[in-house]
Amino acid sequence: MASASLVALSPQRAGAQALPPLGVLAREAVQPAPRGWVWPLEPRPAVVRPFDPPSRPWLSGHRGVDLAAPNGAEVRSPAAGTVVFSGWVVDRPVVTVDHGEGRRSSFEPVSGSVPVGTRVDRGAGLGTVTVSEAGHCAPSTCLHWGVREGGAGSDDYRDPIAFIEDRRPSVLLPWNGG
């Protein structure tokens, strides 16, 4: 049985890519996002729908995370920054914070309580979850949190939770016996 599994996973079959040596995998592992951010809700919320980016910018996907949140829950800034938008986008209220270095967080549906241009600290209140009709998490309510890098108008979305927790896969390295 193990032989069959090894053959099925063999990189020599047509179209397969050979895996680099283990040491190369460790050095070229996905770089972590700079952590030190906090959850935008207290207590730590359940993730209702995880980050699921599209394979191409124009395709459908989930460009953020949905966090379980009751209507009226306070939303906090996950990192220091400046409120750059607070208003309506189509049919829902949105708040966006610029954290610098081309990184922005957006939250919806959130009625902002902080004026545009206000500098906020990590953990500062931004507004409250405001669902007037059935939202996209119906019948429950949730907070959608998206993070973009690359400045305004960028389609370079990141997993927001990676700014709080290390989401890289574990990599086993050879043990030298020491």
Q: Is 25 helix (H, G, I), strand (E, B) or coil?
A: helix
Q: Is the pLDDT score of 10 beyond 70? A: no
114 in any annotated domain: yes
The rounded percent of the chain whose pLDDT value lies above 70 is 75
CATH number at residue 52: 2.70.70.10
* pLDDT band, very low/low/confident/very high, at 172 (cuts 50, 70, 90): confident
3 in any annotated domain: no
* pLDDT band, very low/low/confident/very high, at 33 (cuts 50, 70, 90): low
Q: Which of 88-92, 105-109, 110-114 has the lowest mean pLDDT?
A: 88-92
| Of 25 and 44, the one with more pLDDT | 44
| Of 174 and 114, the one with more pLDDT | 114
The predicted pLDDT at position 100 comes to 93
The rounded mean pLDDT for the chain is 80
Nearest to 75 by CA among 53, 101, 97, 90: 97
Position 33: which residue type? A
Q: Is the pLDDT score of 25 beyond 50? A: no
Nearest to 130 by CA among 78, 92, 171: 92
pLDDT digits (tens, 9 = 90+) for 47-97: 999 988 888 878 887 888 999 999 999 999 999 999 999 999 998 999 999
Query: What's the token pair of residue 151?
Result: 């400045």
Residues 6+ apart with CB under 8 A from 34: 163
128 in any annotated domain: yes
28 in any annotated domain: no
22 in any annotated domain: no
Q: Which long-range contacts (CB under 8 A, 24 or more apart) does 111-118 make?
A: 112/83, 112/86, 112/87, 114/83, 114/86, 115/83, 115/86, 116/83, 116/84, 116/85, 116/86, 117/82, 117/83, 117/84, 118/82, 118/83
42 in any annotated domain: no
Query: What's the token pair of residue 141?
Result: 């309510």
20 in any annotated domain: no
* pLDDT band, very low/low/confident/very high, at 175 (cuts 50, 70, 90): confident
Residue 89: domain span: 47-163
112 in any annotated domain: yes
* pLDDT band, very low/low/confident/very high, at 142 (cuts 50, 70, 90): very high
pLDDT digits (tens, 9 = 90+) for 121-139: 999 999 999 987 767 777 7
Query: What's the token pair of residue 22?
Result: 């283990």
